[in-house]
Structure formats: structure tokens, C-alpha cells
Structure 1
């Protein structure tokens, strides 16, 4: 063997090395990309879990506030409380029995309604007007 043939065996070209390393580099790059995608997706899932937990806690809080407000509304609308407020704060009293006007649930026909209040002597079905005891409106 000559020196030329042995020098060709010992010398390695850069292109040959790159061709041998290329599959390994591509495989490593593929594994790195898949790993980064997996980690990114897991981080997004954990973040979404935290967001869901906060939204559920806010929903429970709002439901509790809504229930409390419904109870407060029912308490404020209680007839006994309204009557007490009307008497104590507004100075209202129960009207005398003769000052109460009772109307039926029937609506009068169109065109038959008059602008003035009906007198007690008129006999209209469903309408009863009590005397006012000499006091005006």
C-alpha cells in the first residue's frame, strides 16, 4: 500500500461527518420539539385549572350574595314591615271604612268610561264607592 491510499483512509471529510450526524441531530431536534410541546400543553392545562377554580369560587360567592339579597328583599317586602314603616316613618294611618273604594277586576268597555268619578247612587256592576264623610280629596 502506498502513502496515498493510507492518507485517504485516515482523512475524514466534513461532509461525511455531517451526513453521519444528521440523523442523530434530526432525531434529537424532534424529541426536543415534542418535549417542549408537551411541557407547554401541561402548563396551559394547569393554568386553565387555576382559572376554572377561581371562576367556580367566584360563582359560589355570587350565588351566596344573590341568596342573601333575595332574603333581604323578602324581609323588606314583608307586609308587617311595610305597615310599620308607613305608620312610623310616613305618618300614615288606616283609612276609615267609608273611604275605601272597591273595584272589580273587570275592565269597563271602551267608550263607556267617564272622566268623573261615579256617584254612589249609580248602579254599575262591579263598582262600589263609599261616602267620603264631607272631606274632599
Structure 2
């Protein structure tokens, strides 16, 4: 009197077929979630890198400005004159030793360029064995 009805029997294959769409849907959501989290981590990491690069850029700009100021200070005519006087023993020439020359223009040749003019009152030492 024990009869097993065929309606109440459940096979493992039928259960897997019904669960397969749910498992695939869950796997799809898990993959999308992992990809989303990974992309957000990469975006945050790139933000930190960008912030660090901007900070380094500002630091280098400040260093460049400081070096430009130092260069301008070192090239100041008053400082150079002071160094020439104190360390090198140089002095300004007397007014009679200063002579002005005509500016040379490119492409324009002057007559007698081989011979330098000697202003009156200026003695130039010459070599003994001039060629």
C-alpha cells in the first residue's frame, strides 16, 4: 500500500535547471560588483598620484623661482663691481684710457680693417718679432 506518486518525486536535474538562472544572475552581479570596486580603487589611486604630482610641480616651481631670484642677485652689477674691486683688485679706468669704437654692423666692411687706429696719446706695446 505504499505507492510513490510520480508527481511528488523531484529529480536533481530539474532542481539544477531551475536554480541555474539564479546562480548565473548572482555570478553576473558579483562580477559587476568586483569590476565596479576595482575601477573605483583605481580612480582613487590615480587621484592620489595626481595630487602628489601637482604638489611636486608646485614645489619645483617655487624652487625655480628661488633659483631665478638667486641668479638675478648674483648677476647684479653692483655686486659684480664690488667683487671686482675687493677680490680681484680691479678699478675703473681713468677717463683718458677709455676710448669708444664705432659699432660693427654685420655684413659691412670697413676700410683698412687690418690696421687698428691708434688714438692720440695712447701708446700700444708691440712685439719685437712681429710677423
TM-score normalised to structure 1 length:
0.78
Deviation at 1:65, TM superposition (A): 0.5
Task: Give the 3 Å change call, closer, same or farther, for CA 43–94 of structure 1 in structure 2.
Answer: same
Distance, in Å, in 2 between the alignment partners of 1:102 and 1:15 is 110
Give the stretch that moved more between structures: 25-34 or 10-19.
10-19
Task: Give the 3 Å change call, closer, same or farther, for CA 131–49 of structure 1 in structure 2.
Answer: farther
Q: Higher strand fraction: Structure 1 or Structure 2? A: 1
Higher relative contact order (CA 8 A, sep 6+): 1
Match of 1:29, SS state, is: helix
Total equivalences in the alignment: 124
Distance, in Å, in 2 between the alignment partners of 1:47 and 1:27 is 30
Deviation at 1:37, TM superposition (A): 1.1
Gaps of 5+ in 2: 127-131
Aligned twin of 1:105: 103
Gaps of 5+ in 1: 121-129
TM-score normalised to structure 2 length:
0.81
Aligned twin of 2:63: 65
- Contact 1:99 / 1:131 at 8 angstroms: preserved in 2? no
